[in-house]
Homo-oligomer: A and B are copies of this chain.
C-alpha cells in the first residue's frame, strides 16, 4: 500500500504582500504514509526543504530512472528503514531563486512562514505527534542550510535536524563567486540591469549566470536593506568587485560555522543533528562541514557526520540516510517518554 501526496494550496498570511510580489498562495505537497487513511494514529512530521531554485512541488518531479519522493518513502517504510511519518515540502521560492528559509525585508518572512505558520497549520490539520522530538527538518544544499539554521534558531520546534551538503563556511561557498558575479553585473550595467535582463531571458538555466544570480539572491536573504534601491546590499562594490567588509560581516552572521558558538545551547537540545556531504562538492561544502564538526566537537555538541564520495548534484539518494536516522531519533524519543 503506497502513501499518498496531498497538495495543500496554502494561503500564507505571513507571505501576503511580500516585497518581491511573489505568490502568497503556495502549493505544498504533503506525503501521508500508507497507514494514514486507515485509522486515527498520529505520526511524526518531517519538513523537507528544497534547495536553491527548488520548491516542494519540484521535488515531486519525475526524473528518469529515479523513484519519486513518495515512492522513496514507500520503499523505505516497507523496508522498515523509515518510520511512518508525514512529510511536508514547503515552497519558499522567490523570484531570485530562494529565501534560505529566513525572514528578510527584501524577500519576505520565510522563517516565520516555515517554522511557525506552517508548523501550526500542519499540527492542526493533520494527525501529527507534535513536539520537537518528533518533528524533523531536513534538506540538501540550501535546504540543508535551512534545516540547520531553523534547527539552530528553533530547537523547541525542530528537534531533529539533517543537513545534507548544506551551505556553510560562506568564505568558500559564496565568496569565490563574487568576482564572476561582478563581471556579469558589469556587462549589464550593474546588478539592477542584470535583474532586468534575467527577468526577460527566455532561458534561465545558463550555468555561466549562476554566480551573478546566486550572489544577489543570497544578498536578498543575508543583507537586506529597505533603504537601498534593490532592497538589499550587495557584498561587493558594483564597479570594482571589491568586497564590502561591512556587508560581508552581516552575511557571516548567517553562516552556521560562524555563529555556532552563539547557538550552542540550542544545538545541544536537538535529539539528532546529522550532517553529510560529498567529498567532491563543487561549492566546497565538505570543508564547511568539517569545520562545523570540529567546532561542534569543541563546544560539546553531539552530532553525526558522514562524508560520501560524490559531488553536489543529483544526490537525492542521500535522503535515504537522513530519513533513516531521523526515524531512529523519533523511535528513541518515543521509547524515552
Contact = CB atoms under 8 A, between A and B. Distances in A.
Nearest to A171: B243
A62 B61 contact: yes
Contacts of A64: 53-55, 58, 93, 97, 204
A66 B99 CA distance: 18
Contacts of A280: 183
Interface stretch (A36-44, A265-273, A309-317): A309-317
Interface majority SS (helix, strand, loop, mixed), chain A: loop
A274 interface: no
A63 to B, nearest CB: 7
Nearest to A65: B204
Nearest to A318: B202
Interface stretch (A134-142, A159-167, A287-295): A287-295
Closest 9 CB pairs of A and B: A202-B317, A179-B284, A241-B287, A61-B61, A205-B314, A240-B290, A53-B64, A176-B176, A65-B204
Interface residues of A, number: 48
Nearest to A315: B203
A251 interface: no
A287 B204 contact: no
Contacts of A66: 204
Contacts of A241: 172, 284, 287, 290-291
A202 B242 CA distance: 31
B62 A58 contact: yes
Nearest to A56: B62
Contacts of A291: 237, 240-242
Given A172-B241, A241-B284, A241-B287, 9 more contacts: A57-B62, A60-B62, A171-B175, A176-B176, A179-B287, A202-B317, A203-B315, A241-B291, A242-B287
Interface in A42-85: 53-55, 57-58, 60-66
A203 B317 contact: yes
Contacts of A284: 179-180, 241
Interface string A150-181: 00000000000000000001011001101110
A283 to B, nearest CB: 9
Nearest to A59: B62
A158 B62 CA distance: 28
